A and B are shown apart, each in its own frame.
Chain A
Amino acid sequence: MKKLIVLTLAAACVLPSAWAVQGTIKTEKGQMKGDIVWKGASKKYELTYKRGSTDVSAEFTPAEIEKLDIPKPANFDSCVQNRNTAGLKKIVQDYRMLTWDRPAGNALVNIYISQSKAQDAYDIARKMIDDDQTAAYKGELAPAYWQALLALGKKPQLENCLKKAATDGDRLSSARALVMRGDVIAQADSVAAHRQALVDAYLRVALMYTDPECLPARREALQRAAASFKKIGQESRGEDMKNLAQQLQ
């Protein structure tokens, strides 16, 4: 529950910490604007605002927050564009659980993956997942994290995440997880492996994830399904999949 702490000390003694950022928290009771900090130990947000000359703090659990509105960091776009890993790392650190750590972390993890630095990618992702376990299987970070797990050969962990995403993730995460599952299975490159990749992954997405939000994943699934159909000797079906994928471009 929300806890209102009225601080009677002078404002100068109660400066926001270095990780506090300006933002707005919206709950069912209304919204409040102030300096927001994520407190990792208690897993709560603390918002501090001025009431007159007094600093007032309130705490919120993630479940109480309907919307967390944090302005984009000024250097976010440039860091992403320039693949500035140091800058992105700082954003991840400063905006921990404050919305922008995710896209920054996602970008950072993807950069590390592209540079074949799977361990670095994994380390960054794990820090974010430690704050929010669901990040391992839903949201923007998840697919990049899976890539890191795959690159590091952490197959059991990866399979668990994909299973969790398939069952408990949002539809897009679920579809993406299935595509990745298919990729892992198809690595064996045998007829049996491609058949299984179709049944347990690509075809599922192609046939059952037809809602618009899953479009990016469905497109990928159709392309991969086309390749797998050819591997198992069903070329015409493969062509159908390929054509459908192109129609969805």
Chain B
Amino acid sequence: MENWIRAQFQVANEKYEEGDWEGAIKDYSAALANYPERKESVSAIERIAEAYMNMIVRSKDEQKKRGWRLDLEAVEGYLGERFGGVKDKSVMIAAGDAVLRLAAKEKDVSAKDAHQLEEGERDRSKALYRTFLSSYTRHTQAPSLAAAFGYEAQKKALDMDAPEITADDDPESRAAKAKVLAERNALLEEALDFYGVLESRFPKSSNAEGGIFQMSVCHEKLGNREKAIEYMKKYVDRVSQGKSDLAKMKAQMNLAVLYQKDGFALIAEAEDSSVTNAADLAQRGTMQCVKGIREFMGFAKTAKERIENPGVAAKEKEEYGMLREGALYLAGDCWNRLKTPTKKLSLESYRAQAAKNFEAYVEEYPKGRYAKPAYVKLGRIYSQSDDVEKAKSALMRLKKAFPDSEEARKAMPQLATSLVEYAKTLSDADKVAKIREQACAIYAEMLENGRNEYRPIDYVHAGEILIEAENWNLAGDAFAKAESTAGTNQPTVVARARLGRARSFVAQKNYVEARESLDEFLEDERMKNTLVATNAYDMLSRVALEQGLKEKDESTRRRHFGKAIGAVKNLTAIWSRTNELGQARVPRWQIDRVTLTSSDISMAQMEAEANFGNRDAADKARTMAMQKLQTFIMTREPTDEKPFDQYGARDRENLEKAYADMVSVLSGTGFLDEIVKYGAAYDRYFPNGARAAEVHRAMQEAYAKGAKAPDGAKAPEGEVTPAEESATAEPQAEEPAEAQTAEPASEEPAAEEPAAEEPAE
């Protein structure tokens, strides 16, 4: 009988071997009509599928190929589903193996025929693997396949960037980042699907435990903290059953880390000003972190007991050692990061605990895996606790243990920096002075003795911090040292040093020397071609503006303001070019901000000229400001294509400023209807804006003088209160940005009109 049955398939086999695919399909189908579900049937069905694949790949007839593709998928699906539950295990395994072979072949078919496939056909291979996992739960390969696919998707996701969308992002950037995040999250969800199959269908397989752990990891990456903890707990429960103590402790340590992360995430949420239950979140977060700390200390203690136990094998002791090391460090790190005091614990006690833990750590592991950050953090903690000597001692220990490390090299300068930053948080002037003095002493030592230890950029940083500490002489020394030690291949370092010197003059309000430094900088061909030159132009615009405000001589005054506007122009031109060349990505809102700086300068000029009694020049400056603001508003106001609700926060700030400044500039002119037009626009988009009162006042005055309300607007209510003769905006020290708006109309000829330069570095 068996021979007879085999013979039924043999004819088809022969045709298949000869490459008569259609003939083979016909004969196999005839045999299957009589014997649909035997082991021979499985081979026959697989060969039918392969015959279709061969025909698809070889044929050029698109219509036939489409038809065969449907038949192929129907046959594959049948094999993928029907035989998963058959009683005869050998038939089930044979069918499962056939499905896997077909899934692997589908990848090749898709690759050869990719451009011809319809939408949805490209993932045929994946679909078959999923069918296999769904139907062949008794197949030995199923759990490892699920684990492999889960891991593949997870790895792809974790190899991708995880961009953060911020309020500063313009709509384009936001959309691009959102797309990347969506792809990443889709891969993590796919990984969770496969691991979920492991957990639900193959709970006893050796892969299931690892799958549960990875599910916790995936949930954590997706921001599902509760689920991450839930799955880690499941993992701990599984490991606790029948595994070694060491394995259990490792699992529990992973859970403790999650509690810690959850705690800090809650604390971070509490810092969001929009949440209403901030205090509760901060409290819960702190308690979660303290819970994690207790767990870590428990692990450290248990690990020590194991290490001291002579019955524990050497290899295990080594692993316990690593666990103890990690636990000690993490406990210190948690204490260090806590910021919310509770009824029993103050900020000082957090610092004290952190120091205690870190000291215990470095005593036991002076050159341990986490020793470098531990020393650095000790330095910071002691400096914030006013104990400079202890801070220095910690950093000297760092230098001794890791003399060639980057951390050691930066140790003293960082200590000095953290002292200066700490001083900024204090209100006691004497204390501030004392701490600054200590910081400056460290820098002075650095400049005196650190010839081979520090790089030129370290001196630049020192100079920048010394400016904040208001030690101008030492800052100047630092910049000079940076310049003298920098090589010819470090123009950026030299540029920063020279700019640092200029910044020092600006901080001292010594605008004459600042201007000289900046002019010298920008005349140097090597300097003005660096990207750092944008900072120079930014500073120049502010310095020239300050000079203009105080200059009594009219033509000199005009040159100063012209210089300031020219600097802004050059800055925006450089940023435009770097964006076009793909060398940088300056967001549009930032470029717009600097464009508005140009109108700020014109408004400041208007006021200065008025103060000096020069009416004509004041009017010209006003006209300049109006034109710039009008151009900005025309190119940036909301349209049907880009409605207001799509504007980011920074773009809204810029638009609000433009409307308010326009109203302010127009006040004191005869353009009454224009005042109410721009005022109405301000009202429409920023009804509760910071300058609403100022705008309303201007509008009321305009109405009182006979202005007509624009269509759809109503006159603001309230009494008319006298406004300033001309409300001009203070020139603002804005972040340098690049303008994409139309260039302003030509200004008063300035003494120098720097041309837009090509960026070099």
Contact = CB atoms under 8 A, between A and B. Distances in A.
Q: Do A and B come from one complex?
A: yes
A200 interface: yes
Contacts of B78: 204, 207-208
A208 B32 CA distance: 8
Contacts, number: 56
A210 B71 CA distance: 15
A203 interface: yes
B70 A211 contact: no
A133 B84 CA distance: 19
Nearest to A210: B33
A158 B36 CA distance: 26
Contact of A208 (B34, B67, B75): B75
Interface in A40-87: none
A204 B36 contact: no
Contact of A204 (B63, B74, B120): B74
Contacts of A167: 81-82, 84-85, 135
A237 B34 contact: no
Interface in B639-679: none
B85 A199 contact: no
Contacts of A166: 81-82
A166 B135 CA distance: 10
B85 A168 contact: yes
B587 interface: no
B70 A208 contact: no
Contact of A207 (B37, B74, B82): B74
Main secondary structure of the interface of A (DSSP, over half): helix
A237 B32 CA distance: 22
B23 to A, nearest CB: 16
Interface in A195-244: 195, 198-200, 203-204, 206-212, 234, 237
Interface string B58-88: 0000010011001101110110011011000
A110 interface: no
A192 interface: yes
A211 B29 contact: no
A211 B71 contact: no
B74 A198 contact: yes
Interface residues of A, number: 22
A210 B32 contact: yes
B82 A210 contact: no
Nearest to A174: B82
B539 interface: no
Contact of A203 (B37, B45, B66, B71): B71
A235 B733 CA distance: 73
A137 to B, nearest CB: 11
Contacts of A206: 74
Contacts of B67: 234, 237
A198 B70 contact: yes
Contacts of A168: 85
A207 B135 contact: no
A209 B70 CA distance: 16
Contacts of A195: 70
Contacts of B29: 207, 210
A117 interface: no
Given A166-B82, A167-B85, A204 B77 contact: yes
A155 to B, nearest CB: 17
A199 B77 contact: yes
A61 B135 CA distance: 30
Interface in B1-43: 29, 32-34, 36-37
A195 B121 CA distance: 11
A248 to B, nearest CB: 12
Contacts of A199: 70, 73-74, 77
A89 interface: no
A126 interface: no
A167 B137 CA distance: 12
Given A167-B82, A192-B120, A200 B36 contact: no
Given A166-B82, A199-B77, A203-B71, A208 B120 contact: no
Contacts of B33: 210-212
A147 B63 CA distance: 36
Contacts of A209: 36
B537 to A, nearest CB: 57
A171 interface: yes
Q: Which of A198, A200, A208, A211 has the most CB of B within 10 A?
A: A208
A210 B37 CA distance: 12
Contacts of B75: 204, 207-208
A207 B33 CA distance: 10
A166 B80 CA distance: 11
A237 B34 CA distance: 25
B27 to A, nearest CB: 12
Contacts of A208: 32, 36, 45, 74-75, 78, 82
B311 to A, nearest CB: 53
B72 to A, nearest CB: 9
Interface in B82-132: 82, 84-85, 120
A206 to B, nearest CB: 8
Contacts of B37: 171
Contact of B36 (A171, A192, A198, A234): A171
B11 to A, nearest CB: 16
A90 B348 CA distance: 83
A167 B82 CA distance: 4
A234 B66 contact: yes
A211 B36 contact: yes
A154 B29 CA distance: 36
Contacts of A211: 32-34, 36
A206 B70 CA distance: 12
A68 B681 CA distance: 88
Nearest to A166: B81
B126 to A, nearest CB: 15
A91 to B, nearest CB: 32
A192 B70 CA distance: 12
A108 B51 CA distance: 46
A71 B120 CA distance: 54
B637 to A, nearest CB: 43
B86 to A, nearest CB: 9
Contacts of A200: 74, 77
Contacts of A174: 82
A217 B20 CA distance: 30
Nearest to B36: A211
Contacts of B70: 195, 198-199, 203
A188 B353 CA distance: 65
A218 B321 CA distance: 68
Interface string A174-206: 100000000000000000100100111001101
Nearest to B84: A167
Contacts of B36: 171, 208-211
Contacts of A192: 120
Contacts of B74: 198-200, 203-204, 206-208
A10 B444 CA distance: 118
A237 B63 CA distance: 10
Contacts of A203: 70-71, 74
Contacts of B73: 199
A228 to B, nearest CB: 10
Interface of B: 29, 32-34, 36-37, 45, 63, 66-67, 70-71, 73-75, 77-78, 81-82, 84-85, 120, 135
21 contacts: A163-B81, A167-B82, A167-B84, A167-B85, A171-B37, A195-B70, A198-B70, A198-B74, A199-B74, A199-B77, A200-B74, A203-B71, A207-B29, A207-B75, A208-B45, A208-B78, A211-B33, A211-B34, A211-B36, A212-B33, A234-B67
> Which 9 pairs show the lowest CB-CB distances between chains A and B?
A203-B74, A210-B33, A167-B85, A199-B73, A168-B85, A208-B78, A204-B74, A204-B78, A211-B36
Interface of A: 163, 166-168, 171, 174, 192, 195, 198-200, 203-204, 206-212, 234, 237
Given A166-B82, A207-B75, A210-B36, 9 more contacts: A167-B81, A198-B70, A199-B73, A200-B77, A207-B29, A208-B32, A208-B82, A211-B33, A212-B33
